[in-house]
Amino acid sequence: EAEKKYGKGFETPLSKESSTPVWVVDIPLKEREFYDREYPEKPGILRDMDLIWPEGFEEASSGGEREYELSQILDRIQKKGQTEEQFKWFIELAKQGIKYTAGFGIGIERFTRFVCGVEKIEDVTTFPKVPGRISL
């Protein structure tokens, strides 16, 4: 729904319009990698989520369930236009058996920026990556 309302780069306008954090769930398959798990009952929709900070602070966290079934992994690699050769190491792991897993990531700098109300992420990063500038 967020992509329908705001377009592909929905995070920024959604964040600017919100006054509280927003959960974005049911991410379309085309938006993520082959290793994200699809709902069996909702083809094309992933069991993924994003947490968006309000007031223009954008993405806080991203995560979801991981695919563990070899047949699904191979199918998704093909659907994404990638080759099995690119992910040979991952396929070998899947053949041995991957456990069901889920998780999320949160950027400490993004969290600090939001909590402190800092406009630029560079101002809360020890060694910011800024194009054309060396940070030492």
Structure confidence by residue, pLDDT tens digits, 70-110 = 999 999 999 899 999 999 999 999 999 999 999 999 989 99
Domains along the chain with CATH numbers: 2-122 (3.30.930.10)
| SS3 of residue 32 by DSSP | coil
CA distance 25 to 72: 21
Q: How confident is the model over 17-32, as a mean pLDDT?
A: 92
DSSP, residue by residue, 25-37: EEEEGGGS-TTBP
Q: What is the pLDDT of residues 65-81, one digit of tens each?
A: 999 999 999 999 998 99
Query: pLDDT digits over 3-18, tens only?
Result: 888 888 888 999 999 9
Rounded-to-integer distance, Cα 39 and Cα 25, Å? 12
pTM above 0.85, yes or no: no
Residue 135: its pLDDT value, please?
Answer: 66
Higher pLDDT, 131 or 57: 57
